Amino acid sequence: MYKLSIIIPVYYNSDTLEALYEDLKAKVLPKLEDYEIVCVDDGSGDNSWEVMNALREKDPKIRCVRLSRNFGEHSALLAGLSVCTGDCAVTKQADLQEDSTLILEMLESWKKGNKVVLAARKERKENPVKVFFANRYYSLIRKMVNKNMPAGGCDGYLIDRRAIEVLKLMDEKNSSLTLQVMWIGFQTDVIYYVRQDREVGKSRWTLSKKIKLVMDSIMSFSYKPMQMMMGMGIIFDILAVIMIISVLVEKFTVGTPVDGWASLMCVVLLGFGLIMIMLGLIGEYIWRTLDASRNRPPFIIDEIKEDKK
């Protein structure tokens, strides 16, 4: 007999939680041998915590976890994984954009021996602009971080207890949990699904959070930005040597005076711009090293409410 933990990060999802539970109750929960639902309130400013506890009154297998403040989805999922008791755990978004029966497909794959099962997007029925930039992000990840990242990307997965324990040991901040799951290895399978457009509620996935995800994903798993900086430095040095030689040759053969203040300033400004960008990238790496060295926890659990039986 197995037990499945369903981890649901909650952030301003009071308007979708009841519908999500009813959907799970109708399509998934009766088909499971044993389960628990771990809802993690990531510092929501609405009444999500009250709705979560109201659902717990209906189903004693629901565990409500509240973080002390908003730490981000990465930390909320880690918090859920740290307290779950299942033989395996699956992540489930609260926005109703993925079919709940996907959990059953992933569970069947786990039963066949796969310790990591990724839920990859085969198609996204969302805003074309949003889909375009999302695809560019996953294309960048495949080139710079992990070539095995599915083309449509994935942010849902089912992982075995052994994989859960490894993630708890890693305890990383400023990172991508999905890429961590892919990095740890183990026998992996991919299940494809169609992601629907959001019909209820408002997304809190802001532009600043998306930019941070890009930076965290690349800098936590790749040193290619450093290689690119070195490559750009070498290219500019070669160009500078070529220009110096050409100017000197022209000076001593034709007699052309060495001038050109405007062009010189353009080159200087371009060089300074590149230097500042490179220093910024180096600073990002240094700050992440500092943040890791302080050894602060990636999340703080304020309260857990569960059935004591």
Beta strand pairing call for 4-10 and 88-91: parallel
pLDDT in tens, the chain (309 residues): 788 999 998 888 888 888 888 888 888 888 888 889 898 988 888 888 888 888 888 888 888 898 988 888 888 888 888 888 888 899 888 877 778 888 888 888 888 888 889 888 777 666 677 777 777 777 777 777 777 777 777 778 898 888 888 888 877 777 777 888 888 888 888 888 777 666 665 666 667 777 777 777 776 766 677 777 777 777 777 777 777 777 777 767 776 666 666 567 667 767 777 777 777 777 777 777 777 777 777 788 888 877 755
Handedness of CA 21, 28, 59, 82 (dihedral sign): negative
The 8-class DSSP code of residue 160 comes to E
- Please enumerate in sequence order all residues whose Cβ is within 8 A of that of 84, keeping only pairs 6 or more positions apart, or say none: 5, 7, 36, 38, 164
**C-alpha of 104 from chain center:** 23
The β-bridge partners of 123 are 194
pLDDT at 309: 53
* 3 state SS of 33: coil
pLDDT at 53: 87
Q: Is 191 helix (H, G, I), strand (E, B) or coil?
A: strand
pLDDT of residue 256: 64
**CATH numeric code, 4-209+297-305:** 3.90.550.10
Q: What are the pLDDT digits (tens) for 43-62?
A: 888 888 888 888 888 888 88
User: Is residue 305 within 8 Å of 53, Cβ to Cβ?
Assistant: yes
Residue matched to tokens 């930005």: 225
Q: Which strand (E) or helix (H) includes residue 116?
A: strand 116-124
- Sequence length of the chain is 309
Q: Look over the chain and give the mean of its residue pLDDT values, rounded to a whole number.
A: 79
63 close to 29: Cβ distance less than 8 angstroms: no
What residues does each domain of the chain span? 4-209+297-305, 224-293
pLDDT at position 206 is 65
Beta bridge partners of 6: 37, 90
pLDDT digits (tens, 9 = 90+) for 15-43: 888 888 888 888 888 888 888 989 898 88
CA 138 from centroid of its chain's CA atoms: 11
